[in-house]
Amino acid sequence: MSKIEDVSTPRRTKEIIQRHGFSFKKSLGQNFLIDQNILSKIVSAAQLDQTKGALEIGPGIGALTQKLAEVAGKVTAVEIDQRLIPILGEVLEPSPHVQVIHGDVLKLDLAELFKEQFGEVSGVSVVANLPYYVTTPIIMKLLEEHLPLENIVVMIQKEVAERMAASPGGKEFGSLSIAVQYYCEPELVCVVPHTVFIPQPNVDSAVIRLKVRTQPAVQVEDEAFFFEVVQASFAQRRKTIANNLKSRFFAKEGRERLEQYLTEADIVSTRRAETLSLEEFGRLSDILLKAGLKS
Ligand code: SAM
């Protein structure tokens, strides 16, 4: 079979979209990558080989999909935009190890998709240039459904990547950092300029690698309650942890009891949530759970 020309060059991207009369939909976060170097960085960060599978979310016209197909044993790409399905059929050589699924990734049963698509491979990574309008819901769906993933390597808005990778103490550290770091070890791969996309987005971008942990970063009695405590603690960032927890869990009870639980968790009540580590949140949520504060 003849080698199909790389779709990610600016000339070829423009040629394909013109020939198909394709118009970009901003509402679907359609910013296509046209830079070989960035595509290679994304693919190599995923550490794929012929024994591994890749799930791509939003293949667009298939620039990243082509590169993934060169290294992975199985590639499945989920695209919401029906207009791109015939283009993907043309760009991706008919190949038994690449499959395009038309659908909204947020509505798909991913556990079922994994069983159907990745039964033969030894590990699966999500690799994608994500639509920015749904970055967080997509990442949280991947993590909360406990899918058997090795890595999540994604191009996202730079500011969101920095929040995911932030350490306690900084202003970027918040409930998103904790949710991501509970399940993964984040690593910023590179910052990406606007110029590598068609059309150019009006925010900065970055590639982040989330290495999925085999065990969560902290062991807690009740995962849902842990995240409830985290959310409550960050409800108003300028307030102390004690004041935020008081509003959520101690509305009718004395401040004294709250102070007692914070002391038991070895947390000074005047601290702000952004200074607490995952371990401290874990300790605190277990103490509040034992005290019967879960509704
Ligand atoms: N992967 C291509 C690239 O790098 O050039 C395109 C990336 S573009 C930033 C995001 C892609 O995600 C678009 O093709 C868009 O149609 C698709 N998309 C948007 N929302 C989606 C969803 N909920 N489920 C699946 N695909 C989606």
One domain for residues 41 and 62: yes
Q: Whose CA is nearest to atom 17 of ligand 1?
A: 58
One domain for residues 111 and 208: yes
One domain for residues 87 and 133: yes
In a 3-state reduction of DSSP, which class is residue 265? coil
Cα–Cα distance measured from residue 93 to residue 98, given in angstroms and rounded to the nearest whole number? 9
One domain for residues 37 and 179: yes
Pocket test for ligand 1, best of 26, 67, 81 (most atoms within 8 A of CB): 81
Cα–Cα distance measured from residue 163 to residue 176, given in angstroms and rounded to the nearest whole number? 7
Would you state the structure tokens that stand for residue 261, as one six-digit string? 């639980």
Looking at the CA of residue 197, tell me the nearest atom of ligand 1.
5
Last residue of a domain, one of 212, 232, 251: 212
Would you state the structure tokens that stand for residue 232, as one six-digit string? 């409550």
Number of domains within the chain? 2
First to last CA, the chain: 62
Beta-strand relationship, 98-102 and 184-192:
unpaired
Q: Is 245 among the domain residues?
A: yes
Residue 35 assigned to a binding site: no
Gap from CA of 179 to ligand 1 centroid (Å): 23
One domain for residues 69 and 98: yes
pLDDT at 4: 57
Q: Is 50 among the domain residues?
A: yes
Q: Domain of 44: which CATH number?
A: 3.40.50.150
Q: Is 5 among the domain residues?
A: no
Q: What is the DSSP letter of 169?
A: T
Q: Whose CA is nearest to atom 23 of ligand 1?
A: 104
Q: pLDDT, tens digit, for every residue of 76-114?
A: 999 999 999 999 999 998 788 999 999 999 999 999 999
One domain for residues 195 and 65: yes
Q: Is 1 among the domain residues?
A: no
Q: pLDDT, tens digit, for every residue of 252-286?
A: 667 889 999 999 999 999 999 999 999 999 999 99
One domain for residues 239 and 156: no
Q: Whose CA is nearest to atom 5 of ligand 1?
A: 32
Looking at the CA of residue 39, tell me the nearest atom of ligand 1.
4
One domain for residues 177 and 235: no
Would you state the structure tokens that stand for residue 224, as one six-digit string? 């849902």
Residue 104 assigned to a binding site: yes
pLDDT at 53: 98
Gap from CA of 129 to ligand 1 centroid (Å): 7
Domain that holds residue 44: 10-212
pLDDT at 254: 75
- Identify whether the C-beta of residue 217 lies closer than 8 Å to the C-beta of residue 182: yes
Cα–Cα distance measured from residue 194 to residue 209, given in angstroms and rounded to the nearest whole number? 20
Residue 289 assigned to a binding site: no
Task: Name residues contacting ligand 1 (CB within 6 A).
Answer: 28-33, 57-60, 63-64, 78-81, 84, 104-106, 129, 131, 134
Q: Which of 154, 137, 130, 224 is nearest to 182 (CA)?
A: 224
DSSP 226-260: HHHHHHHHTSSTTS-HHHHHHHHH-SSS-HHHHHH
Give the residue ranges of the chain where pLDDT is below 50. Answer: 1-3
Q: Is 155 among the domain residues?
A: yes
pLDDT at 220: 98
Last residue of a domain, one of 179, 212, 245: 212
Gap from CA of 79 to ligand 1 centroid (Å): 6
Q: Is 199 among the domain residues?
A: yes
Q: Is 176 among the domain residues?
A: yes
pLDDT at 1: 41
One domain for residues 40 and 185: yes
pLDDT at 2: 41
One domain for residues 137 and 192: yes
One domain for residues 157 and 187: yes
Does the ipTM exceed 0.90?
Answer: yes
Q: Whose CA is nearest to atom 12 of ligand 1?
A: 58
Q: Is 238 among the domain residues?
A: yes
> Is residue 9 packed enough to be buried (19+ CB in 10 Å), middle (13-18) or exposed (0-12)?
middle
One domain for residues 236 and 202: no
Residues in Cβ contact with 195 at an 8 Å cutoff, skipping those fewer than 6 apart: none
Residue 64 assigned to a binding site: no
